[in-house]
Amino acid sequence: MMKTSTVNISFSKELLDQIDETARKECRSRSELLREAARIYIDRKKRWDVIFGLAGGAAKDAGMTEGDIDREIALYRRNKTK
């Protein structure tokens, strides 16, 4: 059995109501829902860190600065909306 720890977390009433409603709809406990949410967040964060690490290395190899990247993103967004 995995060792667990109990923690206290503060939520606004509105957010806690949403958490509880979602847990009820999925027939699970609040704790189960929050554990899964934390796992999903951590996994997503790790994947984005890898993506940004790769992109940052490629930009550095190409001699691009952060300003260059910002300009490229702005240009792409302008062209995409046209």
This prediction has a pTM of 0.62
Instruction: Look up residue 2 and give its amino acid.
Output: M
In terms of phi and psi (left: phi > 0; alpha: psi -120 to 50; beta: otherwise), the region of 6 is beta
Place of tokens 């550095």: 60
DSSP notation for 10-44: ---HHHHHHHHHHHHHTT--HHHHHHHHHHHHHHH
Q: Would you write out the chain's pLDDT as a tens digit for each of its 82 residues?
A: 779 899 999 999 999 999 999 999 999 999 999 999 999 999 999 888 887 777 777 777 778 777 887 888 888 888 887 6
